[in-house]
Amino acid sequence: MIKVNDNYLKLPGSYLFSTVGRKQREYEKAHPDRNVIRLSIGDVTQPLAPVILEAMHKAVDEMGQAETFRGYAPDLGYEFLRDAIAKGDYHSRGADISADEIFVSDGAKCDSSNIQEIFSLHSKIAVCDPVYPVYVDSNVMAGRTGTYDVETERWSNVIYMPCTADNDFAPELPKETPDLIYLCFPNNPTGSTITKDQLQVWVDYANKVGAVIIYDAAYEAYISEENVPHTIYECVGARTCAIELKSFSKNAGFTGVRLGYTVIPKELKCGDTALHSLWARRHGTKYNGAPYIIQRAGEAVYSREGREQLKKQVAYYMNNAKTIYQGLKKAGYQVSGGVNAPYIWLKTPDKMTSWEFFDYLLEKANVVGTPGSGFGPSGEGYFRLTAFGSYENTVEALDRIQKM
């Protein structure tokens, strides 16, 4: 008699963004006359850049001719894309990563949820609190997190590193030693970041205790300040302790195109076992590559025109971030983020809980955001707005919020 993986049954409620989406749909159904503005999920709204469209049209045409048709992609991804990544994202920053340490995938969400699979079920994970829910939930599903305490909203076998206004949203080294440390900078959801020196502390710590850092750099393109690292491999010693995840969703608007990659340096080992070879085995056995057409789109991101066109796209969203940040400030909110990240993190007013503020904002301003508590217990009393709307909607939303 078949039994289910009962770790799934331990998951409290549904996936955060599914709940946010459901609540929005219910409100819209009940109030069909209202124009609801969505600044919740980190989904982009600007069309793809011309150079990317051109690359995809060309690749589609290639797929229509026997001579240029492509079937199964190479396990790690096409060399043309891995070369462009190695050069564009690493060599240009003095980071020593080679093309054969890059694994192309269909996005950082899949990679960040699958990467835990190559580690022992007895590994102890450490996460920032608040945190992107996928890191924790994927470990819950695998059975690594112990039991859930409804009171504290914490898992018994997870190390939480609170990130609040008190520590400027930067995690401190945990007291208990973790095996796997998830870090995301620029951060989702708080929009904060840390300096290269601060990240070096984490790299040194991981090398000292024998932990592996899963470094999610999905929002790297939004870094505007000096001294904020663009990749963890800018830090000395990262090649022996860090795996980096990257996404094309936010720098190139690929949320509906689906492309990402994972870097595993060949020196990164547990005993004699190279993690690179385990992930290669997983890729070969459980994955079949990103579509050729999409990998060509990814390549175009690194072309000269691609860089120029996407710089403008990122600037567009960062102008929204500024609009939100300043608009909230003006309305008297306590705000952070929005400078090196497309996320603005605000303290809810009048001691409202995050979900109370969600309902309040939806009701009074017809604006959808994401409750901070959905990202972890230390997110309670906070709220996330994203800069990925259109400029017009963003201005309108802030106008409404100021009038609340």
Among positions 267-286, residues that touch a copy of itself (CB under 8 A) are 270-271, 273, 275, 278, 281-282, 284-286
Give the binding-site size for a copy of itself (rule: CB under 8 A): 84
**Closest approach of a copy of itself to the CB of residue 91, in Å:** 27
- 107 sits near a copy of itself (criterion: CB under 8 A): yes
37, two tokens: 């503005």
Under the binding rule (CB under 8 A), the answer on residue 14 touching a copy of itself is yes
Distance CA 120, CA 118 (A): 7
Query: What minimum distance in Å lies between the beta carbon of 236 and a copy of itself?
Result: 20
In sequence order, the 6+-apart residues with CB closer than 8 A to the CB of 155 are: 136, 140, 145, 146, 147, 148, 149
Q: Which amino acid is at 68?
A: T
Quote the CA–CA distance of 223 and 342 in Å, as a whole number: 9
- Residue (313 or 373) nearer to a copy of itself, CB: 313
75 binds a copy of itself, rule: CB under 8 A: yes
Which residues, numbered 26-45, are part of the site for a copy of itself (CB under 8 A)? 41, 43-45
CA distances from 280 to 39, 263, 289 (A): 37, 11, 12
- Shortest spacing between CB 329 and a copy of itself, in angstroms: 28
Site for a copy of itself in 215-254 (CB under 8 A): 253
Binding test (CB under 8 A) with a copy of itself, winner from 34, 57, 87, 364:
57
Question: Contacts with a copy of itself in 295-354 (CB under 8 A)?
Answer: none
* Cβ 285 to a copy of itself shortest distance, Å: 5
Among 147, 107, 154, 146, smallest CA distance to 127 is for 154
The reply on whether position 50 binds a copy of itself by CB under 8 A is: yes
Between the CA of residue 243 and those of 120, 127, 231, 336, what are the distances in Å? Answer: 16, 15, 10, 28
For 207, 225, 251, 336, the CA distances from 302, given in Å and listed in that order, are: 32, 22, 11, 31
Residue ranges in 177-206 that form contacts with a copy of itself under rule CB under 8 A: 179-180
Residue 302 Cβ, how far from a copy of itself at the closest point, in Å?
19
Token pair, residue 303, equals 């072309």
Closest among 116, 340, 91, 79 to 233, alpha carbons compared: 91
Does 176 bind a copy of itself (CB under 8 A)? Our answer is no
Query: Minimum distance between the CB of residue 114 and a copy of itself, rounded to whole angstroms?
Result: 7
The window from 25-33, 112-120, 301-309, 338-346 that contacts a copy of itself (CB under 8 A) reads: 112-120
Contact in structure between 40 and 20 (CB atoms under 8 Å): yes
